[in-house]
Structure 1
């Protein structure tokens, strides 16, 4: 992994409770988020580009990697640190040809075969999930459960981030299954106190990592 991380936060406008997205993400970073992804499914390309520019500037100020979901053109336009792909997006090897060797490329996986394929094709990290039920994504697949987290821990030697329905009350279960990097959306960006909630997640993860 070009730059390791432990608390991965994804944007989610539907959860902000009237706050500005830049304020929410900055509070998350101040609480310990050390990688940020822009993912907004209902925005126009221009709106996404404007958001990406603003988030790129914010994350650069804190030296936090900035990832764009799906849109390679927007990632290139703002010189994002990388891109996150789904199983139905541009194939990972094609994305690598476009982005070059130095950018971070992550891909969502829902089964061991997909995780192994991602490693073979040169992903920098994989998403493992959704671990639990989640409302952050309309077209989400069925939860993969903690068993899949354990499978990846045991059989796929590469960085992965557990994602999907992870809250403070169940994060320990995910960490006990072997996860060392956690992705959170609504539990952080929708929290009343974003910074404090991010800090609580960060502490739990670092404790599990022995840091």
Structure 2
């Protein structure tokens, strides 16, 4: 079984992170408790993603945080990133797995229970379930599912799920109660005055939630 923790999953956005940059945002966020960092830059070509990804690797060296690349398989392989995340409109899960190898982490975005149920445990390692809420960081997202919809997605999935879509620290408890292993966030960390403090707030909420069964938050 692969060793990764979906608890605080930072999705980098070059626009929102412009103040201090994606590298420094990631470094500070991981210091605050971020467990996964996804490099997502839809405007960058493969070579640019490789440059950013290698800089991120250097920034995260010595930590347990995993580096995931969004969509670009060639960049994922060239960087030697920990994994790849793809959407429904990208290449097939089977092709992605074949290209990144068996050891890399593979995540898949799902928006319906049918898609969640179709996630193959032999190929994918986790789903990004949502969007829970509408979010300006991804203008082409599907209709928001809310927490009831999130619970339906996760119940249908044979693999672990991270909740995504407009989530903040106050949404941790209902997301974990719906069965999520963690929350994937963009603006809750990117663009915040202090990414370390912002990440720590999320990590603290998750820890508190898991320590109190009465909240119905599930354990990872």
What's the TM-score once normalised by structure 2's chain length? 0.89
Cα deviation digits, residues 75-102 of structure 1 (max 9, x gap): 0001111100000111001111111111
Determine the structure 1 residue equivalent to 2:11: 10
**Are the counterparts in 1 of residues 129 and 154 from structure 2 also a CA contact under 8 Å?**
no
Q: CA deviation at 1:108?
A: 0.2
**Are the counterparts in 1 of residues 121 and 158 from structure 2 also a CA contact under 8 Å?**
no
Partner Cα separation in structure 2 for residue 208 and residue 190 of structure 1: 26
**Structure 1 unpaired stretches of 5+:** none
Q: CA deviation at 1:121?
A: 5.5
**Are the counterparts in 2 of residues 12 and 189 from structure 1 also a CA contact under 8 Å?**
yes
CA-based RMSD? 1.7
**If each structure's helix is expressed as a fraction of its own residues, which one has the higher value?**
1
* Worse-superposed segment, 173-182 or 66-75: 173-182
Confirm or deny that 1:42 pairs with 2:43: yes
Cα deviation digits, residues 1-23 of structure 1 (max 9, x gap): 51231111011111125212211
Q: CA deviation at 1:74?
A: 0.3
* Worse-superposed segment, 2-11 or 103-112: 2-11
What's the TM-score once normalised by structure 1's chain length? 0.93
Cα deviation digits, residues 178-199 of structure 1 (max 9, x gap): 3231101111112111111100
**Are the counterparts in 1 of residues 116 and 154 from structure 2 also a CA contact under 8 Å?**
no
Determine the structure 1 residue equivalent to 2:98: 97
How many residue pairs are counted as aligned between the two chains? 211
